[in-house]
Amino acid sequence: MNLNKYIMLIKTCELGSVTAAAKELGISQSAATQLINSLEKELGLQIIVRSRSGVRLTKEGSILLPLFKNVVEADNKISSAVQKLKSEKNIIRIAAFKSVAINWLPEIIRDFRKANPGIKIELIDCGYKDIDQSLMNEDVDFAFLPLPANPAYTGIPVYNDRLLAVLPPDYPQTGLINGRLPVKLFETEPVVSLSDSIDRDARTVFHNAGIVPNICYRVDDDYAQLAMIENGLGIGIVPELILHGTDKKLKISELDPPAFRTIGIAFPSYKNASTEALAFSEFAKNYISHY
């Protein structure tokens, strides 16, 4: 199929002249005439009638012209789709919860792009529930999330992050036992908690201890939680990674019994992951192993 013949015919009919169409397409009039003649010969039908006043479609041409337009339009759509797929091949889409997005990924992305300047990276900062949904919908190449992950996708552990008790700065030292805060105290002390959809870590601690926490406040942001605790509104459980770089005046202690979360990298399908995504995940794992 020679689409140039179709394009020439379409343009000729639009402008009503072979000469005008040839000029717009940047070819000679004789080359334009040859394209149309070749198409008519190929089909065994006369498509246009030439006269001094211009060109007009024959009955057969009127039937075929819309079909030629559909073919050219379909070819353009295919070309656009191919270009998009080629460009997306060099894009890595990553979902991560806030502490990873803030403390790890900026430096990892910067160093990875220095070594791989042709690769673009899109970072989606969201909560655990949205990360699960992004993986299930295959909207991302991979994600950072606490393990165990949904068995529908592959999770690879990369870091054990301590869960710590976060207390107001004037919290009495007598409340601690050997420098640790007993988890049982969360039953009686006022607790500042994250909303249920993003508080998986603390809920796991309470579940394992068999207690119902005395939750007085719920917030949707880790740093709002820290600000409320700093102002004496309660105590909370926070992953150690969240506390890096914070300027809040807080008292931090280990929990009794100790607790941690395992941060992992999860792929919608490890087998079908792109070369670029696998390379980035290996680069990230190496960075995190030295953290």
Pairing of strands 91-96, 120-125: parallel
Q: Is the pTM of this model over 0.75?
A: no
Residue 133 has a pLDDT of: 86
- Cα radius of gyration rounded to whole Å, the chain: 32
Residue 31 has a pLDDT of: 87
- Distance from C-alpha of 213 to C-alpha of 266, rounded to nearest angstrom: 30
Residue 89 has a pLDDT of: 61
On the question of pLDDT at 118 being above 70, the answer is: yes
On the question of pLDDT at 87 being above 60, the answer is: no
Highest mean pLDDT among 84-88, 130-134, 150-154, 156-160: 156-160
Q: Residue 77 class from Cβ within 10 Å (0-12 exposed, 13-18 middle, 19+ buried)?
A: exposed
Handedness of CA 264, 290, 104, 160 (dihedral sign): positive
Q: What is the chain's length?
A: 291
Contact 202, 237 (CB under 8 A): yes
Distances (CA, A) of 50 to 46, 53, 54, 61, 278: 11, 8, 6, 13, 61
Confidence of residue 52 (pLDDT cuts 50, 70, 90): confident
On the question of pLDDT at 120 being above 60, the answer is: yes
DSSP 8-class letter at 184: G
Residue 137 has a pLDDT of: 85
**206-254 pLDDT, tens digit each:** 999 999 999 999 998 888 999 999 999 999 999 999 898 788 899 999 9
User: In the predicted model, what is the mean pLDDT of the chain?
Assistant: 88
Buried b (16+ CB within 10 A) or exposed e, 80-106: eeeeeeeeeeeebbbbbbbbbbbebbe
**251-270 pLDDT, tens digit each:** 999 999 999 999 999 998 88
Q: Which residue has the tokens 């009039």?
A: 29
Backbone angles phi, psi at 239, to 5 degrees: -65, 145
